Amino acid sequence: MRRWLGRLAGLAIFLLAAAWLAPTAAARFLLPSIAGALDATLDLRGVRPIWPLGIRAARADLSFRGHAVRLEDFSAAWDPASYAIHARVGSGHIDARLAHSRDAALVFLDDVPLEAFALPGRAGTLELSGRVSGALRWRDGVEVSLRVSNGSLVPNPQLGFALPVQHFELFGWRDSEGKVRVDALALDSPLIVARGTGEVSSRKELKLDLVVTQLEEPLRSLIGGGMLPPGPLRFRVAGTLEQPQLLLAQVPPEP
């Protein structure tokens, strides 16, 4: 009986150790596979197990449709419904939940530096800086709710200066075909205060309406060449993401 109990205990310890170590062995294949189902890639470095079922990695390089970011102190844990992920990005943090079905995900960003992201296309030329917080939800598309504070951007290299940004907010939706709906856009800067809505087609064509309630020099002269009327202004943003066109539509009535 004692020998039988000893063997049973040894088997139980072996199974527990195997269950604990299994995520480490599977992580190099399972997590990249999950990322691939969400149209992303993931490369892990320095993987080790954590209790009870999960892994920790010293570094993880994540790329989503050209948007690249390096995650540090990366951890992933398994539960019956989802994978829970936590990571540090610069001095900020990312927390995420991914469904086991791999068709849904929820990502929270907390005070993440924009400089940590390598953005493609025109976004990469804007020289964005600041701290971003908010959430992104994947399910048959991507729902976005983001807020940026204490940053700057260079909308056009010909301007010769960076536009300071006190607050920027974006609420919108990107469908599976690539069409973007901008439900609300808000920009607060010492040089410009603007609000907008609109859409970006799957071919990157812009159809945005902006109401500018404050426009200061030197930005006012650079945009209108000294010909803009005083007071609130309504603009239409046309063209494409790579070559946007800012058109004066009309002067909205005073509230």
Percent residues over pLDDT 90 in the chain = 35
- Indicate whether 18 belongs to any domain: yes
The model's pLDDT over 113-146, given as tens digits with 9 standing for 90+, comes to 988 887 766 666 778 899 999 999 988 888 999 9
The answer on 123 and 238 residing in a single domain is: yes
The answer on 126 and 7 residing in a single domain is: no
SS3 196: strand
Query: Number of folded domains in the chain?
Result: 2
The model's pLDDT over 5-56, given as tens digits with 9 standing for 90+, comes to 444 444 334 334 444 445 555 555 666 666 666 667 778 787 777 766 778 8
Q: What is the pTM of this model?
A: 0.78
The answer on 187 and 75 residing in a single domain is: no
Given this model, what pLDDT does residue 250 score? 60
As a whole number of angstroms, the distance between CA 227 and CA 249 comes to 14
Question: What number of other Cβ atoms are within 10 A of residue 210's Cβ?
Answer: 19
The answer on 146 and 35 residing in a single domain is: no
Cα-only R_g, the chain: 24
Given this model, what pLDDT does residue 5 score? 41
Given this model, what pLDDT does residue 28 score? 58
With a cut of 70, say whether residue 71 has pLDDT above it. yes
The answer on 250 and 173 residing in a single domain is: yes
Given this model, what pLDDT does residue 177 score? 85
Does 111 or 158 have the greater pLDDT score? 111
Does 82 or 4 have the greater pLDDT score? 82
The model's pLDDT over 197-248, given as tens digits with 9 standing for 90+, comes to 999 998 889 999 999 999 988 888 888 776 788 778 999 999 988 888 888 8
Strands 105-113 and 92-99: antiparallel
Q: What is the mean pLDDT of residues 85-92?
A: 91
Q: Which two three-digit tokens encode residue 165?
A: 């940004």
- Indicate whether 38 belongs to any domain: yes
The answer on 124 and 98 residing in a single domain is: no
Given this model, what pLDDT does residue 238 score? 92
Residue with tokens 């995900």: 105
Strands 82-89 and 67-78: antiparallel
Question: What number of other Cβ atoms are within 10 A of residue 225's Cβ?
Answer: 8
- Indicate whether 108 belongs to any domain: no
- Indicate whether 113 belongs to any domain: no
Which residue range(s) make up the domain with 26? 1-102
- Indicate whether 110 belongs to any domain: no
Question: What number of other Cβ atoms are within 10 A of residue 219's Cβ?
Answer: 18
Given this model, what pLDDT does residue 54 score? 77
The answer on 159 and 85 residing in a single domain is: no
Last residue of a domain, one of 52, 72, 102: 102
Read off φ and ψ for residue 192, nearest 5 degrees: -155, 140
The answer on 193 and 79 residing in a single domain is: no
The answer on 246 and 140 residing in a single domain is: yes
The model's pLDDT over 166-205, given as tens digits with 9 standing for 90+, comes to 999 999 999 988 899 999 999 999 999 999 999 999 888 9
The answer on 124 and 77 residing in a single domain is: no
- Indicate whether 107 belongs to any domain: no
Question: What number of other Cβ atoms are within 10 A of residue 172's Cβ?
Answer: 19
Given this model, what pLDDT does residue 47 score? 76
Label residue 152 exposed, middle or buried (CB < 10 Å: 0-12, 13-18, 19+): middle
The answer on 184 and 253 residing in a single domain is: yes
pLDDT band, residue 98 (cuts 50/70/90):
confident
114: closest CA among 85, 148, 65? 148
SS3 228: coil
- Indicate whether 138 belongs to any domain: yes
The answer on 244 and 128 residing in a single domain is: yes
- Indicate whether 109 belongs to any domain: no
Residue with tokens 């609109």: 198
List the helix and strand counts (H, then E) for the chain.
Answer: 2, 15
Does 99 or 237 have the greater pLDDT score? 237
207: closest CA among 172, 171, 244? 244
Given this model, what pLDDT does residue 222 score? 80
